[in-house]
Structure 1
Amino acid sequence: MPEKTNLELSGIITPLITPLRPDFTLDDGALAKIINHAIAGGVSSIFPLGTTGEFASFSLNFQLDVIKKVCEQVNGRVAVLISITASCVEDTLKLAEMAEKCNADAVVATLPFYFSLSQDEISSYFTQIADNVNLPLYLYNMPGKTKINIAPETVNVLAKHPNIIGLKDSSGDMGYFGTVSKLVEEPGFSLYVGPEEELAEALKLGAKGGVNGGSNLFPKFYVELFNAFEKGDLAQVDELQTKVRAFSAAVYNLTDNPNNYLQGLKAAMSIKGFCEPTLAPPLKALGSADMERLRIVLNDWT
């Protein structure tokens, strides 16, 4: 078996929002502004078209355009990880082809929508992708959306594939994260955490970094937390994690909408002057009253 692809990423990865104009077209100017802001804040990578990027609401051609424009804008300053999740393998491979053409560094895939899958089918699915893409692949565990968990034992099997180099876990289940961390010992396979509320705990359990939505807006919060952990300053880590949790509670829970995280983050980005609060249909942006509530909340955040 060939040696595992080597791409050692650590630090904070920004799961990029997809800024939209009111007519739901891509806002190129806002895209550039947000990318430049995240990079200036010290993030190690830009990751478009994930959950935070609303990928499931966009056509294949729209996603291909996003890949091209993100890679052009980043222009090699940090790594670029491209989400290639789709409901059929053919579209997944088309996204991966564009990622390679645009000189992205790696691709990321969660499970396709609609059908429930057995663990054997999950393993076969990711193996098929890894066998047919030229960029290294990160697995993406997102059971809150896919309704399926990639079992730790399945992760352990897939970690042995030379082109599968890591897992982003957005389950929010730190018991699961700890089990995977202990079970998977494959050299060159790295773990990253999605929910920013658990960033500090994940780092203590062996994560190489976080894929944290709030880094679109306040990248330095998350970068400082990671750097404090790297320096062994656990008191500062805990202090910063408390700050991140307070931000999350203030911004992501304004409504009882099941997509309140996306509503709150995009609205906050709008209030801070980065983009419109527009979400892609069928999701709806915050209403005017909630926007005003958030505006008051954000007065406490700089």
Structure 2
Amino acid sequence: MIAHLFKGVITALITPLRDGNVDEAAFKKLLERQIAAGVHGVVPMGTTGESATLHPDEHKRVVEMCVEIAAGRIRVIAGAGASATDKAIELSRFAKSVGADGTLVVTPYYNRPSQEGLRAHFEAVADAVELPMLLYNVPGRTGVDLANETVKALSAHPNIVGIKDATGDLSRISWMRANIEGQFDLISGDDPSYLGYAAHGGAGVISVTSNVAPEGMVALHDAIQGGDLATARSWQDRLIALHKGLFLDNSPSPTKYALSTLGYCTEEVRLPLAQTRADVRPHIDAAMVAAGIS
């Protein structure tokens, strides 16, 4: 059996804000809750962490703080994606310097490079920093799709250890399992389809939902790993409205709203994001009830 470096439930952490600044006390409270719930890892400064709007010094402080608080109890995979390759290298070097277990590097957004450019980008980052890297493919946000064949080529690099696939296309994982040799961690980046992704051989999920329902996501994962599909489907049914509800408005605003109702942080997001619309809130409230969260 192949040993996965990154697996299980990995929470794509929000970054709590208060009065325009990172709320470090709330961040610690949120992270301790994740660890107590049994998640296997966290991603600070990914998309859900509002990495696109935080300043570089804030980005680095959140990563550093996450590593310090986690203190080796769970994996910390630092978001290190950027439109510019040099910036991705800088963020990856910083993640290594503070002791992160790996990086999550998204396809460069907005500038829409070719497949050749994508391959050169990821190889340049991996060559520059000896730290395990997960590729991150989320074409709905970045405007560019990392093709299966490019993923296969990149999998040969010793520092590129897997992919977060947020396309929701379950045929991709089957192609990768059939065509990529050796250890390569296949991680879902789409909560609603995680059950299916795991059935196709996925090692875990980088989850938005686990910000709000970490115990439920861990229970879903454990049921899958234990081969108890009836229990896994039961958890899927309980969580599906929350999976969907957290994306009824600009993410991570609904997640911050949900966590604010639980007393973990404020709803504050940074422009151009706006707080969750009033008409969306009842749907999130109902989804939380359905998931057994109060």
TM-score by length of 1: 0.91
Match for residue 6 of structure 2 among 6, 9, 25: 9
With over 3 angstroms needed to count, the CA separation of the structure-2 counterparts of 1:34 and 1:161, relative to structure 1, is same
Gaps of 5+ in 2: none
Could you say which residue in structure 2 is the equivalent of 1:267?
A: 257
Q: State the shift of 1:290 in Å.
A: 4.7
SS at match of 1:187: coil
Could you say which residue in structure 1 is the equivalent of 2:113?
A: 117
Could you say which residue in structure 2 is the equivalent of 1:35?
A: 31
Could you say which residue in structure 1 is the equivalent of 2:141?
A: 145
One-letter amino acid of the counterpart of residue 89, structure 1: T
Could you say which residue in structure 1 is the equivalent of 2:16?
A: 19
Q: State the shift of 1:161 in Å.
A: 0.7
Could you say which residue in structure 2 is the equivalent of 1:51?
A: 47
SS at match of 2:48: coil
Give runs of aligned pairs for residues 237-252 of structure 1, distance below 5 A.
237-252=232-247
Q: State the shift of 1:193 in Å.
A: 0.2
Asked whether the equivalents of residues 269 and 275 of structure 1 are also in contact (C-alpha less than 8 Å), the reply is yes
Q: State the shift of 1:287 in Å.
A: 4.3
One-letter amino acid of the counterpart of residue 275, structure 1: C
Could you say which residue in structure 2 is the equivalent of 1:188?
A: 183
**Residue 79 of structure 2 corresponds to residue 89 of structure 1:** no
Asked whether the equivalents of residues 220 and 235 of structure 2 are also in contact (C-alpha less than 8 Å), the reply is yes
SS at match of 2:47: coil
Query: 1:212-235 CA deviation, whole Å, 9 max, x = no partner?
Result: 111111111111111111111111
In 1, Cα distance between equivalents of 2:38 and 2:218: 6
Could you say which residue in structure 1 is the equivalent of 2:268?
A: 278
One-letter amino acid of the counterpart of residue 278, structure 1: E
In 2, Cα distance between equivalents of 1:223 and 1:297: 18
In 2, Cα distance between equivalents of 1:160 and 1:252: 34
In 2, Cα distance between equivalents of 1:296 and 1:122: 41
Could you say which residue in structure 2 is the equivalent of 1:3?
A: none
Match for residue 217 of structure 2 among 218, 222, 226: 222
Gaps of 5+ in 1: 1-5
Asked whether the equivalents of residues 169 and 194 of structure 1 are also in contact (C-alpha less than 8 Å), the reply is yes
With over 3 angstroms needed to count, the CA separation of the structure-2 counterparts of 1:179 and 1:64, relative to structure 1, is same
Could you say which residue in structure 1 is the equivalent of 2:170?
A: 174
Asked whether the equivalents of residues 89 and 128 of structure 2 are also in contact (C-alpha less than 8 Å), the reply is yes
Q: For the aligned residues, what is the CA RMSD? A: 1.7
SS at match of 1:134: coil
Q: State the shift of 1:250 in Å.
A: 4.0
Q: State the shift of 1:246 in Å.
A: 2.2
Q: State the shift of 1:262 in Å.
A: 1.8
In 2, Cα distance between equivalents of 1:251 and 1:130: 33
Q: State the shift of 1:155 in Å.
A: 0.5
Asked whether the equivalents of residues 152 and 183 of structure 1 are also in contact (C-alpha less than 8 Å), the reply is no
Query: 1:56-96 CA deviation, whole Å, 9 max, x = no partner?
Result: 11121111111111111111111100010112222212211
Could you say which residue in structure 2 is the equivalent of 1:207?
A: 202
Query: 1:96-144 CA deviation, whole Å, 9 max, x = no partner?
Result: 1221111110111012222121111111111111000121111001101
Could you say which residue in structure 1 is the equivalent of 2:103?
A: 107
SS at match of 1:57: coil
TM-score by length of 2: 0.93
Asked whether the equivalents of residues 44 and 79 of structure 1 are also in contact (C-alpha less than 8 Å), the reply is yes
With over 3 angstroms needed to count, the CA separation of the structure-2 counterparts of 1:75 and 1:133, relative to structure 1, is same
With over 3 angstroms needed to count, the CA separation of the structure-2 counterparts of 1:252 and 1:112, relative to structure 1, is closer
Q: Give the length in aligned residue pairs.
A: 290
Q: Percent identity?
A: 31
With over 3 angstroms needed to count, the CA separation of the structure-2 counterparts of 1:290 and 1:138, relative to structure 1, is closer
In 2, Cα distance between equivalents of 1:7 and 1:203: 14
